[in-house]
Structure 1
Amino acid sequence: MPTPNNNPFEQIILPTDVPSAWPPAPVYWLILIATIVVLLVITWLIKRHIKNTKIVKQALTELANLRSQKTASFSELNQLLKGLCLQYYPREAVASLNGEAWFDFIERHNATSNSPVFENKSVFCERLYAGNSQCVEKDFTSARKWLKSFPAQCKAFKKSTINNQKLTGSKHV
């Protein structure tokens, strides 16, 4: 007759098959999906930032090319500024601006609101439509400052416009 063993752990039966880790629990699927979405959003934001800085760098390069020309006209400088604006705003909103409306648009997007980008409205309009108006060094310096700060000013202007629309309850058309 076998001798009884007094070990209480002897009665515990260990499983022979280890439970599988696949498929993972639903919480892990949610974490994986959230991680992928966050990575995609970060990638999109980085690409957008690179594109925006590339646009500004190209505009600054064109400004340097205009500056190196001895006969750069004021209208060529304004074409450069308008070209940059067309990259950030719809064509319908920017392309039709001219004269005083264009001057007001430039000033609304001016980082230093206490000093205008170009002298005053009347002088700006005269120089813009005078065929022989040459750019001076102050024009290039002002345009360079304006070009560098334009993306931030554009973002701030759009944000303030959205906030104003929320306050008044009107919709953007």
Structure 2
Amino acid sequence: MLDASSTINQSFGNLALTNFNEAPMPETLPILPFAPGWSYLAIIFITWLIIFIIQKLIYQINNHYRKSALLALAELANSSLTEQARLYQLAELIKGTALYIFPREIIARQTGKDWFNFLNTHNKKQVFDSNAHQLLGDNLYQVPKEACTEKQWHSLIEQTKLWIQQHPYEGVNPVIKPFSLLNLVKSK
């Protein structure tokens, strides 16, 4: 047996590794890759994002008249005016919106049935029916032959709403001229 005063030289582990120092750890890798391809891709993406945001802003600015017309239409739909006054204001709203889109010379020539045919041909699909022509065209400047029912009034409001929302962007007098990246590349 060994007594407590004697020391035992014991090395733990592998004796070949007694004076071996630990290898230094490599530097930590960055979170973002710094290869040139990633930088180019980031520049392209940021450029595309800026162009996309600018295009959306231009579209919103140029189509603000639609929002204004829809708000005026909602106010008119809920108004308590007389039947003749409501029909007159609805016709005025349609004409005013069309004046924003098309040149005054074209709009001024259109009356009666030709006016609603013009609106329908310059839309994605036919919106106004013969009832709209009769109520807003024929009865507008003369004593109405028959009264406009609530069903006909709501039909006129829906037709006008569809026309405001769906008429094509072409022909609109833009506040800011729209552009696309392809047009910019082709013009050079």
For the aligned pair, the TM-score class normalised by the smaller chain equals 0.5 to 0.7
1:36 to 45, 50, 53: 50
- Higher helix fraction: Structure 1 or Structure 2? 1
- What's the offset of the Cα at 1:150? 0.7
Name the counterpart of 1:82: 95
Name the counterpart of 2:148: 136
- What's the offset of the Cα at 1:141? 1.6
Does the 8 Å contact 2:132/2:156 carry over to 1? no
Decide whether aligned partners of structure 1 residues 103 and 90 sit closer, same or farther in structure 2, where only a CA change above 3 A counts: same
Name the counterpart of 1:9: none
Name the counterpart of 1:116: 129
TM-score (norm 2): 0.50
RMSD: 3.9
Give CA-to-partner distance per residue, 1:17-66, whole Å, 9 cap, x none: xxxx8xx966654443333222212333344455522322223313433x
SS of residue in 1 equivalent to 2:131? coil
Give CA-to-partner distance per residue, 1:120-170, whole Å, 9 cap, x none: 66x86542331x338612442222111210134412997xxxxxxxxxxxx
Decide whether aligned partners of structure 1 residues 31 and 71 sit closer, same or farther in structure 2, where only a CA change above 3 A counts: closer
Larger RCO: Structure 1 or Structure 2 (Cα < 8 Å, ≥ 6 residues apart)? 2
Does the 8 Å contact 1:117/1:146 carry over to 2? no
TM-score (norm 1): 0.54
What percentage of aligned pairs have identical amino acids?
16
Name the counterpart of 2:81: 69
Name the counterpart of 1:58: 72
Bigger radius of gyration among the two: 2
- What's the offset of the Cα at 1:88? 2.8
- What's the offset of the Cα at 1:72? 2.4
Give the whole-Å Cα distance in 1 for the aligned partners of 2:46 and 2:170: 37
Query: Aligned partner of 2:155: which letter?
Result: S
Paired residues in the alignment total 132
Query: Aligned partner of 1:118: which letter?
Result: N
Does the 8 Å contact 1:110/1:153 carry over to 2? yes
Unaligned runs of 5+ in 1: 1-20, 159-173
Unaligned runs of 5+ in 2: 1-33, 172-188
